[in-house]
């Protein structure tokens, strides 16, 4: 009973929040294992999944009492954060699948995930509620020999006043926390580059939908005490 009351209290704090995690795992369904023979290291790398992102999303889910929709199929099979027709929808390993196999892959692993999120958001908006989707991702600390100088990236559409206001405020609250997190906006990627929330933003244009990608540095997530502190500060800064 007490636990339920605590959950209800948290839900009131973040009633408009929806968490998602498109690159949560590196699972290869049995029917596609032949494509990944000898690729164990690649699968375990940041190219196979967003390392630490699903664990981080689950912590935020627990702390904030927000729903979480997560996928665990490797992005090397089909990238749930890319649009149909995007050159990176399939990887070099899955691009060789025959057209009908790719259709089956989309029908089983891509469309249901995106449709679930779409329908959840559409339902909320139809009831006159607003929605803030946080799409939780992680980035590798060093890419092509260059160190990325941020702990947290907030990716949004600068042309959306509501998203820009929200992210500026969130950045300021995080930077003001005792640990002084390095938070950058639209880094290490642009918030308008192809992605799930970008597609949903287009779909729900003119409605109170905010789609933001939360990018977390894998160096932070890989250090248990730093990860715990970062996630606690992220949750607290969303509640305030
Ligand atoms: Zn990602």
The domain locations on the chain are: 2-239
124 CA distance to ligand 1 centroid (A)?
Answer: 25
Give the residue among 47, 73, 88 at the shortest CA–CA distance from 218. 47
Residue 239: how many CB atoms within 10 A of its CB? 10
For residue 20, the CA-to-ligand 1 centroid distance in Å is: 11
Name which residue leads in pLDDT, 11 or 72.
72
Ligand 1: centre distance to CA 19 (Å): 13
What is the model's pLDDT at position 11? 47
- Average predicted confidence (pLDDT) for the chain: 93
Residues lying with their CB under 5 A of ligand 1, a single-atom ion: 23, 50, 137
Give the domain 2-239 fold.
Aminopeptidase (3.40.630)
In the chain, pLDDT over 90 holds for what percent of residues? 88
Give the pLDDT of residue 4.
53
Q: pLDDT category, 144, cuts 50, 70, 90?
A: confident
Q: How far apart are CA 177 and CA 230, in angstroms?
A: 10
**Cα(74)–Cα(29) distance, rounded to whole angstroms?**
9
pTM, to two decimals: 0.93
90 pLDDT band, cuts 50/70/90, is very high
Cα 94 to middle of ligand 1, angstroms: 18
CA of 82 to the centre of ligand 1 (A): 10
């Amino acid at each position: 009973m007490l636990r339920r009351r605590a959950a209800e209290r948290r839900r009131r704090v973040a009633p408009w929040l929806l968490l998602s995690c498109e690159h949560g795992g590196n699972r290869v369904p049995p029917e596609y294992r032949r494509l990944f023979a000898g690729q164990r290291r690649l699968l375990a790398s940041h190219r196979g999944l967003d390392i630490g992102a699903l664990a981080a999303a689950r912590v935020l889910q627990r702390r904030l009492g927000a729903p979480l929709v997560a996928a665990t199929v490797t992005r090397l099979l089909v990238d749930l954060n890319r649009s149909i027709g995007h050159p990176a929808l399939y990887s070099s390993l899955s691009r060789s699948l025959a057209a009908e196999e790719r259709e089956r892959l989309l029908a089983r692993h891509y469309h249901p995930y995106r449709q679930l999120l779409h329908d959840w958001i559409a339902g909320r908006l139809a009831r006159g509620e607003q929605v803030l989707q946080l799409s939780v991702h992680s980035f590798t600390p060093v890419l092509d020999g260059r160190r990325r100088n941020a702990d947290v990236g907030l990716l949004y559409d600068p042309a959306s006043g509501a998203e820009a206001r929200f992210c500026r405020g969130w950045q300021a609250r995080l930077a003001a926390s005792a640990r002084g997190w390095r938070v950058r906006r639209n880094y290490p990627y642009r918030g308008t580059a192809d992605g799930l929330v970008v597609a949903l933003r287009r779909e729900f244009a003119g409605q109170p939908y905010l789609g933001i990608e939360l990018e977390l540095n894998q160096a932070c997530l890989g250090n248990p005490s730093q990860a715990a502190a970062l996630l606690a500060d992220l949750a607290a800064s969303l509640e305030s």
